[in-house]
Chains A and B, each alone.
Chain A
Amino acid sequence: MPKSSTSSRLAVRKTYKLYVAGKFPRSESGRTYLVDGDNVALASRKDARDAVVAARAAQPKWAGATAYNRGQVLYRIAEMLEARRGEFKALGVAGSEVDAAVDRWVWYAGWSDKIAQIAGGANPVAGPFFNISAPEPTGVVGVIAPETLLGLVSVIAPAVVTGNTVVVVASNPQAAITLAEVLATSDVPGGVVNVLTGRAAEIAPWLASHDDVNALDLSGVGDSELATELERAAAGTLKRVVRPVSGVDYSEDPGTGAMTALLEIKTVWHPKGF
């Protein structure tokens, strides 16, 4: 939206670029598109490619961080988001939604060191073996995000709290990039969350077919034909697919499903004996 100045001072406008590897680059294509009067970066397939490289590079270290540390980082995101509520309101996001988004980060922050206890555990096998199942992050997740801020947070947070890294295709560029600015100032390591703005129909197929993407979250895909096409492409490397469900109310208790969908269960056996 055009930002009119109430004083005589001319406002300094923000340039909405992409968020990749912790930096805010323009699209390599040099393209922008107009959204509410702003020229926002129109991401290309090569931007998607670069974002996947960044996400992959960041993933082992992020997953290797302690769960406590990831929880702290997520809580820091909540703090930073809270501090920037005004910016989101200026973008037209309702205050209650910003509040809900902040609370969602807090909620997931607390999950970081609990989900493994909920999703894993010891298995009483019939033999002299120590046997334990524990969840691990799937890896790099391509996320086609819902339009709202709360929806966006509700798909990013469960993916990253467990140690995945994400490449997000956002359809609400200003809010998404502003959220990226929150992330960039919240101790989130570069590359853990990458945000591409542009057209899902153009970028998503490259993520769906990318051999180095492990999972695909289609929550924000409204077009069922596109969703099917993406799911089919994802089958090429057997990506885990989170299918779109119509009419999700993101203000409801999200449960653990959004996290477990992006987790792999690893089961380790070891004999027990003197």
Chain B
Amino acid sequence: MPLFDYAPAPESRSIVSLAPSYGLFIDGEFTEAKGTFKTINPADEEVLAEVALAAPEDVDRAVAAARRAFESWSALPGSERAKYLFRIARILQERAREFAVLESLDNGKPIKESRDVDLPLVAAHFFYYAGWADKLKYAGLGPDPRPLGVAGQVIPWNFPLLMLAWKIAPALATGNTVVLKPAETTPLSALFFADVCRQADLPPGVVNIVTGAGDTGRYLVEHPDVNKVAFTGSTEVGRQIARSVAGTGKKLTLELGGKAANIVFDDAPIDQAVEGIVNGIFFNQGHVCCAGSRLLVQESIASPLLEALKRRMSTLRVGDPLDKNTDIGAINSKAQLDRITELAGVGSDEGAERWSPPCELPDRGFWFAPTIFTGVTQAHRIAREEIFGPVLSVLTFRTPAEAVEKANNTPYGLSAGIWSDKGSRILAVADQLRAGVVWANTFNKFDPTSPFGGYKESGYGREGGRHGLEAYLA
């Protein structure tokens, strides 16, 4: 029995009022579909609501609505579009607590993250792009950049509302209209966002939300009347989408998987490096495409660093996502839990040494203890494949050149981390890493002004910043 334990401190869920069922948001109205599916709380497997399953004809309706809306929306002065986005940003700020609780319920992420990371970034993203709407000619993309038309956007389940913001804010600022499909397991925050659009008096059809699974998404991106496709998700699906839009002339941006190296040199600020490692892989249960899932530690400090890491991991609190003291919440779905479990099993089978701190996992729901594998080499599957869970593979290196070589030895190229107190080494290593985002002496930092996106098989195009506009303008 510890001397000082934290009593349960659950955030009240009463701030969210869930309807038993939700329709599709098309042309400013919630409309029904023939099929439905259930969305559950991954922390206890309780059904949260029933959600419409969009069929092809529903997607057709949504695209048609977006097409109709495009004419007037794109003709609106940028300054007016800006005001709608500012309004949306404000409403999101005012409803932040509600959305945070909702996101934690549907996704399983800890409330402290949905409250302190997701929601502030969501509002900030709308604020940022709102300001661009009437300044596009200054973006360095030509004197009169034009919107593309209807954007078909498919987003993942790891940051449901934040990914929605990353997609919708720049699309609307640039004068496009959108049909967005949230992930099958996390549709609710997008549907609540539809309500925000109505509150903001956004013209009907400018934002349409179609819920469903892979088929709905596929139909949307392949829709002939869609001009722009934006996808965030797995590299495998990204590949399929790239194939399917080949020859259509649709503009495509993809933000896909990763297997980021987090490189710790022997002169690193050690306590901050340990925090960075923990934040890199255990933030959002490791359901992060840019997660620092490969720890590359200089062999000369491997042993004390790992000891410190294990000590730190022992303080991680796994459990109820709504508890304000929870550090690691629920795995988003049974399917994802199975995948993590399988790959962790492979890690053990391939001879890597597995360690987790003692932690009690709840009986119901989907859970996975924070785990590290030591003795991993580049030849292990857990060093190459994206696990998308709270599982860290630890490798060692001897020299900076070896660290860079190992870091780059992957088909992915989304992000990387560097920990060192030596400025010139940081800059040289950052130069050589083939990754779209390099965090030096920090990790998993995001900002609407900062472009995000990958090299190689981590996708193409950037989201955020001035660069993020490019994806939505011709």
A touching B, CB within 8 angstroms: yes
A interface list, Cβ under 8 A from B: 118, 121, 123-127, 129, 131, 133, 138, 214, 224, 227-229, 231-232, 234-238, 240, 243, 255, 260, 264-271
* Contact bitstring B451-469, A, C-beta under 8 A = 1, else 0: 1110111111010011100
Chain B residue nearest to A236 in the complex (CB): B239
Residues in B with CB closer than 8 Å to A271 are 441-442
Given A232-B247, A238-B254, do A265 and B450 touch, yes or no (CB 8 Å)?
A: no
Residues in B with CB closer than 8 Å to A268 are 430, 437-440
Is B309 an interface position by the 8 A CB rule?
no
Chain B residue nearest to A126 in the complex (CB): B447
Given A131-B450, A267-B452, A269-B450, do A232 and B243 touch, yes or no (CB 8 Å)?
A: yes
- Distance in angstroms between the alpha carbons of A240 and B453 in the assembled complex: 13
Given A238-B235, A265-B467, A269-B438, do A129 and B449 touch, yes or no (CB 8 Å)?
A: no
- Distance in angstroms between the alpha carbons of A204 and B457 in the assembled complex: 20
Query: Does B450 lie within 8 Å of A125, measured CB to CB?
Result: yes
- Distance in angstroms between the alpha carbons of A121 and B462 in the assembled complex: 14
Residues of A contacting B: mostly: mixed
Is B362 an interface position by the 8 A CB rule?
no
Is B382 an interface position by the 8 A CB rule?
no
Residues in B with CB closer than 8 Å to A214 are 456
Residues in A with CB closer than 8 Å to B450 are 123, 125, 131, 133, 267, 269
Known: A232-B247, A269-B438. 9 other contacts (CB 8 A): A125-B449, A131-B450, A133-B467, A138-B455, A228-B246, A237-B411, A238-B456, A255-B142, A269-B439
Query: Does B247 lie within 8 Å of A235, measured CB to CB?
Result: no
Residues in A with CB closer than 8 Å to B426 are 270
Q: Which 3 A-B pairs have the closest CB atoms?
A: A228-B247, A235-B242, A231-B246
Q: How far in angstroms is the closest Cβ of chain A from B214? A: 17
* Chain B contact residue count (CB 8 A cutoff): 44
Query: Does A264 lie within 8 Å of B436, measured CB to CB?
Result: yes
Residues in A with CB closer than 8 Å to B240 are 235
Chain A residue nearest to B252 in the complex (CB): A241
- Distance in angstroms between the alpha carbons of A119 and B169 in the assembled complex: 22
Residues in B with CB closer than 8 Å to A243 are 249
Is B135 an interface position by the 8 A CB rule?
no
Residues in A with CB closer than 8 Å to B242 are 231-232, 234-235, 238
Residues in A with CB closer than 8 Å to B142 are 255
Query: Does A270 lie within 8 Å of B441, measured CB to CB?
Result: yes
Is B226 an interface position by the 8 A CB rule?
no
Q: How far in angstroms is the closest Cβ of chain B from A228? A: 3
Query: Does B247 lie within 8 Å of A265, measured CB to CB?
Result: no
Residues in A with CB closer than 8 Å to B451 are 123, 133, 265, 267
Residues in A with CB closer than 8 Å to B411 are 237
- Distance in angstroms between the alpha carbons of A131 and B438 in the assembled complex: 10
B interface list, Cβ under 8 A from A: 124, 140, 142, 235, 238-240, 242-243, 246-247, 249, 254, 256, 411, 426, 430, 433, 435-442, 445, 447, 449-453, 455-460, 462, 465-467, 470
Residues in B with CB closer than 8 Å to A138 are 455
- Distance in angstroms between the alpha carbons of A243 and B250 in the assembled complex: 11
Residues in A with CB closer than 8 Å to B449 are 123-126, 131
Chain B residue nearest to A134 in the complex (CB): B431
Contact of B442 among A235, A265, A269 (CB under 8 A): A269
Contact of A232 among B246, B430, B447, B458 (CB under 8 A): B246
Chain B residue nearest to A245 in the complex (CB): B249
Q: How far in angstroms is the closest Cβ of chain A from B122? A: 14
The winner among B124, B426, B456 for most chain A CB atoms within 10 A is B456
Chain A residue nearest to B269 in the complex (CB): A271
- Distance in angstroms between the alpha carbons of A135 and B263 in the assembled complex: 22
Contact of B445 among A127, A227, A228, A229 (CB under 8 A): A127
Query: Does B445 lie within 8 Å of A265, measured CB to CB?
Result: no
Contact of A266 among B436, B445, B457, B466 (CB under 8 A): B436
Q: How far in angstroms is the closest Cβ of chain A from B283? A: 15
The winner among A131, A232, A236, A270 for most chain B CB atoms within 10 A is A270
Residues in A with CB closer than 8 Å to B247 are 224, 227-228, 231-232
Residues in A with CB closer than 8 Å to B453 are 265
A selection of 24 A-B contacts at a CB cut-off of 8 Å is A126-B447, A126-B449, A129-B442, A133-B450, A133-B451, A133-B465, A214-B456, A224-B247, A227-B247, A237-B457, A238-B457, A238-B458, A238-B460, A260-B470, A264-B455, A266-B435, A266-B437, A266-B438, A266-B455, A268-B437, A269-B438, A269-B440, A269-B445, A270-B426
Residues in B with CB closer than 8 Å to A229 are 246
Residues in B with CB closer than 8 Å to A127 are 445, 447
Query: Does B256 lie within 8 Å of A267, measured CB to CB?
Result: no
- Distance in angstroms between the alpha carbons of A195 and B247 in the assembled complex: 26
Contact of A265 among B238, B457, B462 (CB under 8 A): B462
Given A238-B235, A255-B142, do A123 and B465 touch, yes or no (CB 8 Å)?
A: yes
- Distance in angstroms between the alpha carbons of A267 and B448 in the assembled complex: 13
Given A235-B239, A271-B441, do A123 and B460 touch, yes or no (CB 8 Å)?
A: no
Contact of B459 among A125, A231, A238 (CB under 8 A): A238
Chain B residue nearest to A124 in the complex (CB): B449
- Distance in angstroms between the alpha carbons of A200 and B62 in the assembled complex: 41
Residues in A with CB closer than 8 Å to B433 are 266
Q: How far in angstroms is the closest Cβ of chain A from B435? A: 7
Residues in B with CB closer than 8 Å to A267 are 436-438, 450-452, 465
Q: How far in angstroms is the closest Cβ of chain A from B469? A: 13
Chain B residue nearest to A138 in the complex (CB): B455
